[in-house]
């Protein structure tokens, strides 16, 4: 066996990395934890698609605002599966079968990251089912009473949940490369998941909405106690003062803003993948992954704050 020259990257053939990726995809697709999460998300998707959450003119934050919330169990399962897969001591289905060109830990991590496509595809199927059910019922109703309107979800709004679920899987792999403890990784993952999904209402307000991993295309604003007629008409829907708020809360679907937000989430996925690769060993390609992820994150965040019309007004803190 030829020894690697110190300080140089060990070149592993593309066929080897592709074979490892296929093995990891099979491992992930057969994982019962992932399918348990998918089943719970399917139940949630069915429930919110049929109980009037999107069609009965509920609060702008409790209706359309929770468009991706049903994917929460799948996101947690994806994190756990990614974390545990990365912590397998000697995965017989991957590098150990390639004795002639031994794969490094960096290559094994790259193959594992490819498996993020499995939970992402499951999330896309769930969101497509939800989209079909809601469109069949006439669309999503935003606001209450005379300050309400109905909008039809667009294909762009199917992308957010798959990206968020893929981000959860990649975050699990990155966590395993930083903290080599299944117990600690699981606890930290659950806490992070709860902060992002269980306390979902936090991500409707400035400035947290810009940095959410999962959110709908609806942006909201507090219109105060006595908004003008023109101000009320400017929004897709408005919630009048009630038991939970003393002011008018307005909401509108903003697809441009949502597109910029998806750019940020994609950047977060790439950036976390770069962290996982960086912690897996030296390779000159890691820097390109980290730079690409960072640029997408900056572009997405800056765009939400500065570029898109109305973003500054919605954020309220500029």
pLDDT digits (tens, 9 = 90+) for 10-60: 445 567 788 888 989 999 999 999 999 999 999 999 998 888 888 887 777
235, pLDDT greater than 60: yes
State the Cα angle at 177 between 175 and 183, rounded to 5°. 55
Residue 57 belongs to some domain of the structure: yes
Residue 7 belongs to some domain of the structure: no
Residue pLDDT, tens place only, 140-169: 888 887 888 888 999 999 999 999 999 999
Question: DSSP class of residue 268?
Answer: H
Boundaries of domain holding 246: 14-315
Residue 54 belongs to some domain of the structure: yes
Residue 5 belongs to some domain of the structure: no
Q: How far apart are the C-alpha atoms of 214 and 228, rounded to whole Å?
A: 32
**Residue pair 114/207 in contact by the 8 Å Cβ criterion:** no
In the chain, how many domains are there?
1
Residue 207 belongs to some domain of the structure: yes
317, pLDDT greater than 70: no
Cβ atoms within 10 Å, residue 51: 10
Q: Measured in Å, how far apart are the chain's first and last C-alpha atoms?
A: 61
Residue 9 belongs to some domain of the structure: no
Residue 1 belongs to some domain of the structure: no
ω into 207 cis (within 30 of 0): yes
Q: How far apart are the C-alpha atoms of 175 and 78, rounded to whole Å?
A: 13
**Residue pair 148/63 in contact by the 8 Å Cβ criterion:** no
Q: Quick check: helix, strand or coil at residue 149?
A: strand
This prediction's pTM: 0.86
Residue 3 belongs to some domain of the structure: no
């Amino acid at each position: 066996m030829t020894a690697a020259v110190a300080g140089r990257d060990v070149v592993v053939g593309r066929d080897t990395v592709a074979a490892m990726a296929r093995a990891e995809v099979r491992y992930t697709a057969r994982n019962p934890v992932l399918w348990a999460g998918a089943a719970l998300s399917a139940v949630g998707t069915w429930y919110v698609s049929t109980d009037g959450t999107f069609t009965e003119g509920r609060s702008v934050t409790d209706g359309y605002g929770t468009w991706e919330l049903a994917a929460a169990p799948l996101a947690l399962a994806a994190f756990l599966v990614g974390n545990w897969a990365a912590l397998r001591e000697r995965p017989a289905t991957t590098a150990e079968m390639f004795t002639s060109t031994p794969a490094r830990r960096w290559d094994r991590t790259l193959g594992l990251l490819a498996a993020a496509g499995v939970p992402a595809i499951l999330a896309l199927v769930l969101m497509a089912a939800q989209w079909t059910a809601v469109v069949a019922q006439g669309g999503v109703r935003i606001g209450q009473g005379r300050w309400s309107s109905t909008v039809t979800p667009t294909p762009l709004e199917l992308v957010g949940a798959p990206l968020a679920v893929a981000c959860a899987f990649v975050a699990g792999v990155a966590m395993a490369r930083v903290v080599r403890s299944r117990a600690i990784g699981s606890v930290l993952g659950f806490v992070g998941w709860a902060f992002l999904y269980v306390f979902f209402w936090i991500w409707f307000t400035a400035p947290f909405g810009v940095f959410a991993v999962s959110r709908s295309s609806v942006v909201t604003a507090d219109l105060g106690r006595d908004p003008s007629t023109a101000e009320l008409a400017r929004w897709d829907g408005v919630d009048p003062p009630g038991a939970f708020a003393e002011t008018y809360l307005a909401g509108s679907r903003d697809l441009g803003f949502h597109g910029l937000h998806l750019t940020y989430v994609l950047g977060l996925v790439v950036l976390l993948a770069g962290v996982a690769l960086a912690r897996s060993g030296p390779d000159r390609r890691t820097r390109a992954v980290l730079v690409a992820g960072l640029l997408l994150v900056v572009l997405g965040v800056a765009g939400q704050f500065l570029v898109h019309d109305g973003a500054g007004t919605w954020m309220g803190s500029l």
